[in-house]
Amino acid sequence: MSLFAAEELGMSFGGIRAVDSVSFEVEAGQVFTIIGPNGAGKTTIFNLVSRIYDPSQGRLRFRDEDITRVPPHEIARRGIARTFQNIELFEHATVLHNLLLGRHAHARPHLVQELLFLPGVRARERAHREAAEKVIDFLDLQPYRDSLVVNLPYGVRKVVEMGRALCTEPTLLLLDEPSSGLSVEETADMAFWIEDIRTLLGITVLMVEHDMSLVSAVSDRVLALNYGRVVACGTAREVQEHPDVIKAYLGG
């Protein structure tokens, strides 16, 4: 049984069918990538999976559970974390504080305990710090640990955002265009991070990506969309060579 499945997923905006009966399955331990030309429906699928949108049609399954109507704040607690195309971090907070915010998905509210700062609260706080520090080490972010995000180069911010998502200890990590805004060298580094996240942390990755060098370097399976529909699904090479995919990209 796959870790994640989209079944006959559909989403309409007024008269526009942004996603039309899209089905796919992501196996545990895979990097699964969605590609497609502009307007193909990739971001809409991402927003459906992270539950920002309610689908007009179809179902989402994660670890044998139907998550089609699970609210977005509950998704992280179930083990799904995401990054955003345009990076969503607290710019005037440090890297460490941004990562600690990622831990909030794990925090259970115990208001009275928190107000009294009881030993249990202190222990939890320590555990959050240790988890954040581990992610800082894993992603080589030590030099930036106490820097304000606003002062960091774009490429480092992208890694910090990924780190914040990792702090929630996800089973499934959703990456929305991890290479966008990155240089060729930074994109190559990103490929290594994604590979490490999969092999060393055992996290399954579902991503949307435009850069075919990154797609080919890290993806086990690739799904190509056009006009909201599946055009092809297979290895990066199979999909890139598929005549309907070539046609979709060339606008034929």
Task: Catalog residues that contact ligand ATP under the rule CB under 6 A.
Answer: 13, 16, 18, 36, 38-44
If the CB atoms of residues 168 and 187 are measured against ligand ATP, the closer one turns out to be: 187
CB of 236 to ligand ATP, least distance (A): 18
If the CB atoms of residues 40 and 205 are measured against ligand ATP, the closer one turns out to be: 40
CB of 116 to ligand ATP, least distance (A): 45
Residue type at 188 in one-letter notation: A
Handedness of CA 98, 103, 108, 110 (dihedral sign): negative
C-alpha span between 7 and 23 (Å, rounded): 5
If the CB atoms of residues 42 and 124 are measured against ligand ATP, the closer one turns out to be: 42
If the CB atoms of residues 24 and 144 are measured against ligand ATP, the closer one turns out to be: 24
CB atoms under 10 Å from CB of 237, counted, come to 11
CB of 45 to ligand ATP, least distance (A): 7
CB atoms under 10 Å from CB of 36, counted, come to 23
Beta bridge partners of 4: 26, 62
Collapse the DSSP code of 203 into the 3-class scheme (helix H, G, I; strand E, B; otherwise coil) and give the result. coil
C-alpha span between 58 and 199 (Å, rounded): 31
CB of 40 to ligand ATP, least distance (A): 4
